[in-house]
Amino acid sequence: PLPLPDALWSLPPDRSVHWSAYSCKSFRCLVDRKRSPSFDDCKDCFDILDGSRERRRWVVPSDNPLDFSIDEVLQAADPVGSVRIGLDIGGGSGTFAVRMRERNVTIVSTTMNLNGPFSSFMAARGVVPLYLSVSQRLPFFDNTLDLVHSMHVLSNWIPTTLLHFILFDIYRVLRPGGLFWLDHFFFVEPQTGEYVPVIDRVGFEKLRWEVGRKLDRGPELQEMYISALLQKPLNNSW
């Protein structure tokens, strides 16, 4: 691996990965995969070079109210500076953890190697991958984490019973006053009455709650996103 800080935003050497399990056999192939019509998980997240979408994520200001920035979320902590350790569920290539590391916050990221060496890529960048599926209990003690973040992974593909379990487990591991950043939860408009009550029942306080349409495939599909910043109440611990 490359030394820090160069490793944070550089493609690792190809020799750092065993490629036999993946359709791509190099990191350059993974970067170029975003132009392919085939479906792959997190198609563009291996492109961490200058000018890429991944490079801009969470740090470049956006007019879209669904797009919270890392700095906005950290400023919402009370007191400011109290977010020190956390978890990213479905961390992709580790960019969220890298951006947090740049702000002196330690993030562990869950990932699955779905046709790509996500764990190895994260580790090569100098952040910690955790090989864990959404159906597993989080391996943290109660009331310990300052922040839990999830982008896209928690969405309507998860049955409501399992989603309820996941959300309560997130609530369990957060300390009182800890933050849960639900980033672009995907669903379709008729499911609003199905998923919003599941989130509400957990017991979080809403610091921010934004609902917006996902229009890239057309309004007739009624696709929606929720982005929310939720807080575990200060008077509630397990």
Whether residue 124 contacts residue 12, with contact meaning beta carbons closer than 8 Å, is answered with yes
For residue 217, the model assigns a pLDDT of: 86
pTM: 0.94
Decide yes or no: CATH 3.40.50.150 for domain 6-231: yes
pLDDT digits (tens, 9 = 90+) for 35-86: 887 766 788 899 999 999 999 999 998 999 999 999 999 999 999 999 999 9
How many CB atoms lie under 10 A from the CB of residue 171?
21
Q: Is 54 within 8 Å of 43 (Cβ atoms)?
A: no
